[in-house]
Amino acid sequence: MREKIKRGASNFFKIITKPEMEILPGHLAFSFVISIVPTLTILTYIASIFHFDLQFINDFISQAFSQEFADMLLGVNMIVKADWNFFLTLIIAYIIASNGAASVIASSNMIYGIKNSSFFKRRLKSLFMILIIILLFVFLLIFSVFGNKIIEMLQIMDISEKIITNITLVISVLKGPISWFIIFFFIKIIFTMAPDKKIKSNEVNKGAIFTTIGFVVITYIYSLYTTHFANYDVFYGNLASIVVLMIWLYLLSYVFTIGLALNYREEVITLEKTQKLVTVEK
């Protein structure tokens, strides 16, 4: 057991001291900053078609950071007018949003030591990957709305208050784990797709688990920090909300990059074990 912990700590140290870790998180974070508003624009339009309540996203951002921060991100997307100009804007927004996914592909290739495929292949893959990221948010929205609708239906029906309270409690408790599983599932898909080589699904489990836990923990800790301790207004004034966003995305990008590196390290260890077995058999 002690040997496993020691080996795991050694592998983790090798990962975080890689030269790529000084470059890739910042590059990813910058791409995500550029992509976040177009992604929210697309998500807002999808939500308006299916009559989803965007309050879920507003509540998450306002609770994690501040209402001003939520207003800054969502304010530009609340009015949706479906005309030709909007659809053209939506297409452009989708292409811009795919820059974040393109950065994930480039980062994966750098970590795995793979030569990048052609520009058009990477762009097509990034367009598909941003669709997966949008679907992640859509599923989270559906789950949030679905849970609330169940509670509303129970309140209309002639059911005792105690039963409704118990069911509400169960739904509230399950929201967290199910949301985490959805995040894990989509991160696993992204990790499998991102490198320009075939990756088996079971080879990215460790990285996906680490990234999912890291996203949840860092968002929680950073929200506490920004709510109770940080005072970015003193230094940045009206730019404070943007600074909060950039630091948060940088931390998430750092965790994401470590997750990618963990998967690669796991692949290297597996190959080394396989080579040793082949040598012994010979």
Q: What pLDDT digit, counting tens, does each position of 163-215 carry?
A: 777 777 777 777 778 888 888 988 899 889 888 888 888 888 888 999 999 98
CA distances from 258 to 24, 222, 238 (A): 10, 18, 32
pLDDT higher at 64 or 106: 106
Q: What is the largest CA-CA distance in the chain?
A: 74
How far is residue 102's CA from residue 63's CA, in Å, rounded to a whole number?
A: 30
pLDDT bin (cut points 50, 70, 90) of residue 277 is: very low
pLDDT higher at 182 or 38: 182
**Burial label, 217 (beta-carbon count in 10 A; 0-12, 13-18, 19+):** exposed
Domain boundaries, the chain: 2-281
User: The tokens of 120 are what?
Assistant: 């058009």
Range list of β-strands (E), the chain: none
Q: How many CA atoms does the CB half-sphere of 188 hold within 13 Å?
A: 15
Contacts of 232 (CB under 8 A, 6+ apart): 226, 240, 243, 244
Q: What pLDDT digit, counting tens, does each position of 59-85 carry?
A: 666 665 566 666 666 655 555 555 677
